Chains A and B, each alone.
Chain A
Amino acid sequence: MQSKKLTLFKKYAILLTTSVFSGVMLLSWFQTVYFMNAPERYLPGLKITMSITAGLTFFIALAVFFLTRPFQRIISRFEATGKALSEEEKMIVLNTFGKIKTASIIGCIIGFILGNSITVLVKYILGKYDGTIYNVVVAIMQAIIYAAFVAIFIVYVTDYFFAYYRKMLHIHDTSNIKKGRNVAQTIRFSVIISLLFIISNILMIAFPYFPKELRIGPINYLKSIIYAMILNLAPTLAILMLMLKTLTMRIAISEKQIKDLADGKASELIDITNFDDFGELTSSTNKLIEQQLLLVHRIQKEIQSLAVTAKETAATSQDQNAAVKEIVATMEDTNNLSENISEKIQDVSTLAQSTTNDVAKGAVSLQSNVKKLQEIYEANQETIEGIKSLSAGIANVWDIVAMITSVADTAKIIAFNAELEAANAGEAGKNFHIVASEIRRLADGIIDNTKEIKTRITDIQDSSDKLILASESGTTKINEGVSTAKELEANFNSISKAAETTASSAAEITTIIQQQTAASGQILVTLKQISNGAENFSSATESTSSAAENLKTILNNINGQETSNE
Chain B
Amino acid sequence: MNEQIVESIQKAKSASVSENTQNEEKFLWLVFSICGRKFAVESKQVKEIIQDSDVYPLPFVPSYIEGVLNRRGDPCAVLAPDMLLEIPKKENEDNENKKKRIKQAQVFLVLAIPDDQVCLHIESVLFFKEKLKSEFNAYHSNEDIEFYRGVFDVDGEEISALNIEAFEKQLKKDLGNND
Contact = CB atoms under 8 A, between A and B. Distances in A.
A, B bound: yes
Of residues A416, A419, A424, A442, which shows the largest number of chain B Cβ atoms within 10 Å of its Cβ?
A: A416
A424 B112 CA distance: 11
Given A423-B43, A430-B16, A438 B48 contact: no
Interface in A423-456: 423-424, 427, 430-431, 433-435, 437-438, 442
A410 interface: yes
Contact of A437 (B8, B47, B50, B125): B8
A420 B125 CA distance: 12
A412 interface: yes
A413 interface: yes
A151 B9 CA distance: 208
Given A424-B43, A430-B16, A438-B1, A412 B125 contact: yes
A470 to B, nearest CB: 33
B51 A438 contact: no
B28 A430 contact: no
Contact of B48 (A410, A417, A435, A442): A417
A409 interface: yes
- Interface size class of chain B, counting residues whose CB lies under 8 Å from the partner chain: 20 to 34
A375 to B, nearest CB: 49
A410 B49 CA distance: 10
A430 B12 contact: yes
A409 B51 contact: yes
A420 B8 contact: no
Nearest to A410: B51
Nearest to A433: B12
Interface in A390-425: 409-410, 412-413, 416-417, 419-420, 423-424
Contacts of B142: none
Interface string A359-392: 0000000000000000000000000000000000
B9 A431 contact: yes
A146 to B, nearest CB: 180
A417 B112 CA distance: 13
Given A409-B51, A419-B128, A434 B44 contact: no
Contacts of A435: 5
Nearest to B43: A423
A413 B16 contact: no
A140 B9 CA distance: 222
Contacts of B80: none
B18 interface: no
Q: Identify which of A410, A420, A433 gathers the most chain B CB atoms within 10 Å of its CB.
A: A420
A416 B44 contact: no
Nearest to B50: A413
A413 B46 contact: no
Interface in B34-58: 43-44, 46-52
Nearest to B6: A434
Interface string A511-551: 00000000000000000000000000000000000000000
A420 B49 contact: yes
Interface string B66-81: 0000000000000000
A430 B49 CA distance: 19
Contacts of B50: 413
Nearest to A424: B44
Contacts of B48: 417, 420
A420 B43 contact: yes
Contacts of B30: 416, 420
Contact of B46 (A412, A420, A431, A437): A420
Contacts of B1: 438, 442
A442 to B, nearest CB: 8
Contacts of A434: 5, 8-9, 12
A438 B44 CA distance: 20
A431 to B, nearest CB: 5
Contact of A416 (B5, B9, B49): B49
Interface of A: 409-410, 412-413, 416-417, 419-420, 423-424, 427, 430-431, 433-435, 437-438, 442
7 pairs of A and B residues whose beta carbons are closest in the complex: A413-B51, A423-B43, A434-B8, A416-B49, A434-B9, A438-B5, A413-B49
